[in-house]
Amino acid sequence: MTAKIIDGRKIAEIIKKEASNELEKLYTKYNIKANITTIKIGNNPSSDLYLKLRDKACKEIGILSNHLEFSDDVTEREIIRSIKKLNSDERIHGILLQFPIPDHISANKLFKTIDSNKDIEGLNPYNIGKTLIGDNSIIPCTPLAVLKILEYEKEKIEGKNIVIINHSNIVGKPLAILLLNRNATTSICHIFTKNLKDYTIKADILITAIGIPNMITKDFVKEGSFIIDVGISKNKNGITGDVDFNSVKDKINKITPVPGGVGPITVACSIKNMIQTYRNLLELKNY
Amino acid sequence: MTAKIIDGRKIAEIIKKEASNELEKLYTKYNIKANITTIKIGNNPSSDLYLKLRDKACKEIGILSNHLEFSDDVTEREIIRSIKKLNSDERIHGILLQFPIPDHISANKLFKTIDSNKDIEGLNPYNIGKTLIGDNSIIPCTPLAVLKILEYEKEKIEGKNIVIINHSNIVGKPLAILLLNRNATTSICHIFTKNLKDYTIKADILITAIGIPNMITKDFVKEGSFIIDVGISKNKNGITGDVDFNSVKDKINKITPVPGGVGPITVACSIKNMIQTYRNLLELKNY
């Protein structure tokens, strides 16, 4: 039997619909439009693509979305000054930092500067720390997208063997924590892992965010497993994930495609987080 | 060949000596005595043991250490009020919450209340979040003790297969993050893990914090591996770890004993963290 291909766009629509309903309720109550700002540094084509998709989604559901754009040679100090202005601007409900950012700027410093109540990405240390201790927090968008896929597919997490290939601050580490909070046995592999197949072959759920096209073939995967492909690579035919679909399709049970899998759900989760920061601030003001 | 038994007390002495030198320098510069407060709730005998050991260590190196003791039926609100008072008390440089605490009190709420600059345990969300993103932070004492053991044994971490048995907020989760920050392939197992041996048998380094005496026998461990036993169980003969030493001793390479392994190093690391909070506050005041 061929694997079920998860329709990421459909899940994204459900999340956006829920977000839109929530937004409408809040707007009715407070009569203030949600207003978010994205900071974009340099000219990366994948940034432009994400921004375009997000702006479109914001427009559809009625969130005001504007950009602060900086050239590649902007100083860290200048970005920090802009973030502080956005922090203290009462009209702004959320701040988003578009990745990638140039090497001379520390992502950690920027995330520490973003007000934890306006932190759409959930990557301010206070928010990520709340995620670690299992406290209600803003969850980083890509890990949240993975959780949403498992939730909509009614996949049990507790006791499952889950393998993540990625140990970044934005994807692998927070995702591992979120899965541990749900009692999965969790292994985190990465570029320094010596025996990757030994891990992946036992994964009931394999989450891959490598960025090497078609690297994961059938000898990497467990019979009947669920694969979530977070990888995005560009080639002449468009974008490709980490998984060689044709190789694995008769061995596994479910898979998210690239494009049309994790990507649109991540955009929807960023909308969901925008509404969470907007609600936080409205409720804070009200008390 | 029989496994090398790591002398935890010796490593603890080295850490305390370093801490003592640091303390002396800071005292010479600022002429203020380091002063920390431990909050203890209820009457748990293991709390009393830890407190006694810590007080002794504090006295040895010249840290003023006092306790706020509460009965088991104290309200959460009352503890939070006390923490807030300690936060704003300029004479206090560090706050420690002695575990276990009664079930009706939320550890997360208390850790969120402790000023991140006075947080000796490194468990305030802001500090734990900084640990996650790889930023310089106060590291929780038990995970720090494990890192210190690996450091003093000159054990390479990058690329190693490391298995942790524990996924608590205090031990397993922060330790996993710290090992990922050092590029270990890291698996986290726990009570919901179905095939524990499949994981442990491949661990170059096995860190176990289960609390079941002698559970880890030779069929759980890899030939030539390094075992760090964080488990503490009490029985009529004193305290015991998770590892059946006689069973594993001819198969593995190194092991930390119980008692005399991780325990004294954890106490030394809490002294080290006290001095870090003391320095934070003195330096903050000075700027």
Could you tell me which residues are beta bridge partners of residue A150? none
Size of interface A-B (CB pairs under 8 A): 126
Q: Which residue is closest to A178 within chain B, CA to CA?
A: B173
| Residue A57 reports pLDDT greater than 70 | yes
- Determine the topology of domain B32-115 in CATH: Rossmann fold (3.40.50)
| Residue B285 reports pLDDT greater than 80 | no
- Multiple choice CATH, A31-117, 3.40.50.10860, 3.40.640.10, 1.10.357.10, 3.50.50.60: 3.40.50.10860
Q: Which residue is closest to B124 within chain A, CA to CA?
A: A129
* A124–B125 C-beta distance less than 8 A: no
Q: Which residue is closest to A159 within chain B, CA to CA?
A: B192
Closest by CA to B139, choosing from B272, B284, B229, is B272
CATH number attached to the domain at B141-262? 3.40.50.720
CATH 3.40.50.720 residue ranges in chain A?
141-264
Q: What is the pLDDT of residues A214-258, one digit of tens each?
A: 999 999 999 999 999 999 998 887 899 999 999 999 999 999 999
| Residue A287 reports pLDDT greater than 60 | no
CATH 3.40.50.10860 residue ranges in chain B?
32-115
What is the torsion angle, in degrees rounded to the nearest 10, for the CA atoms of residue A161, residue A164, residue A167 and residue A171?
-120
Q: What is the pLDDT of residues B66-111, one digit of tens each?
A: 999 999 999 999 999 999 999 999 999 999 999 889 999 999 999 9
Nearest to B189 among A127, A130, A185 (CB): A185
Question: In chain B, which residues have their Cβ closer than 8 Å to the Cβ of A176?
Answer: 176, 180, 188
What average pLDDT does range A126-151 have in this prediction? 96
Q: What is the pLDDT of residues B158-201, one digit of tens each?
A: 999 999 999 999 999 999 999 999 999 999 999 999 999 999 99
Backbone angles phi, psi at A70, to 5 degrees: -125, 150
What is the torsion angle, in degrees rounded to the nearest 10, for the CA atoms of residue B272, residue B278, residue B284 and residue B287?
-100
Confidence of residue A286 (pLDDT cuts 50, 70, 90): low
Question: In sequence order, what are the residues at sequence separation of 6 or more whose Cβ sits closer than 8 angstroms to the Cβ of residue A28?
Answer: none
- Determine the topology of domain A141-264 in CATH: Rossmann fold (3.40.50)
pLDDT at B47: 81
Q: Which residue is closest to A196 within chain B, CA to CA?
A: B185
pTM for the structure as a whole: 0.96
The share of chain B scoring above pLDDT 90, in percent, equals: 90
**In angstroms, rounded to a whole number, what is the distance separating the alpha carbons of residues B285 and B287?**
6
Look over chain B and give the mean of its residue pLDDT values, rounded to a whole number: 95
Confidence of residue A46 (pLDDT cuts 50, 70, 90): confident
CATH 3.40.50.720 residue ranges in chain B?
141-262
pLDDT at A8: 98
* B169–A132 C-beta distance less than 8 A: yes
Strand, coil or helix: what is A173? helix
Q: Which residue is closest to A171 within chain B, CA to CA?
A: B133
**In angstroms, rounded to a whole number, what is the distance separating the alpha carbons of residues A208 and A122?**
21
| Residue B287 reports pLDDT greater than 60 | no
Give me B67's structure tokens: 């306790």
Strand, coil or helix: what is B284? helix
Chain A closest CA to B206's CA: distance in Å? 14
pLDDT at B286: 66
CATH 3.40.50.10860 residue ranges in chain A?
31-117
Name the H helices within A133-200.
141-152, 172-181, 196-200
Q: What is the pLDDT of residues B120-157, one digit of tens each?
A: 999 999 999 999 999 988 999 999 999 999 999 999 99
Confidence of residue A48 (pLDDT cuts 50, 70, 90): confident
| Residue A188 reports pLDDT greater than 60 | yes
DSSP per-residue string spanning A59-121:
HHHT-EEEEEEE-TT--HHHHHHHHHHHHH-TT--EEEEPSP--TTS-HHHHHHHS-GGGBTT
Nearest to A173 among B112, B177, B190 (CB): B177
* B186–A187 C-beta distance less than 8 A: yes
CA A89 to chain centroid: 26
pLDDT at A284: 84
* A133–B123 C-beta distance less than 8 A: yes
Contacts 24+ apart (CB under 8 A), B85-88: B86/B37, B86/B118, B87/B113, B87/B114, B87/B115, B87/B118
Q: What is the pLDDT of residues A62-101, one digit of tens each?
A: 999 999 999 999 999 999 999 999 999 999 999 999 988 9
What is the sign of the dihedral through the CA atoms of A187, A191, A194 and A195?
A: positive
H or E stretch at A285 = helix A262-286
Could you tell me which residues are beta bridge partners of residue B146? none
Percentage helix, strand, coil, to 5, in chain A?
A: 45, 15, 40
What average pLDDT does range A154-167 have in this prediction? 98
Q: Tell me which of A209 and A285 has the higher pLDDT.
A: A209
**In angstroms, rounded to a whole number, what is the distance separating the alpha carbons of residues A63 and B18?**
55
Question: In sequence order, what are the residues at sequence separation of 6 or more whose Cβ sits closer than 8 angstroms to the Cβ of residue A35?
Answer: A63, A64, A66, A91, A92, A93, A94, A278
Nearest to B128 among A132, A185, A194 (CB): A132
Interior/surface letters A129-156, b for 16+ CB within 10 angstroms, e for the rest: bbbbbebebbbbbbbbbbbbbbebeeee
Q: Which residues of B touch A (CB under 8 A)?
A: 108, 111-112, 123-130, 132-135, 158-159, 161, 167, 169, 172-174, 176-177, 180, 183-190, 192-195, 198-199, 202
**In angstroms, rounded to a whole number, what is the distance separating the alpha carbons of residues A99 and A171?**
13
**In angstroms, rounded to a whole number, what is the distance separating the alpha carbons of residues A54 and A259?**
16
Question: In sequence order, what are the residues at sequence separation of 6 or more whose Cβ sits closer than 8 angstroms to the Cβ of residue A123?
Answer: A97, A107, A111, A114, A140, A169, A170, B133
What average pLDDT does range A128-132 have in this prediction? 96
Lowest-confidence range among A43-52, A170-179, B5-14, B108-117? Answer: A43-52
Q: Tell me which of A226 and B238 has the higher pLDDT.
A: A226
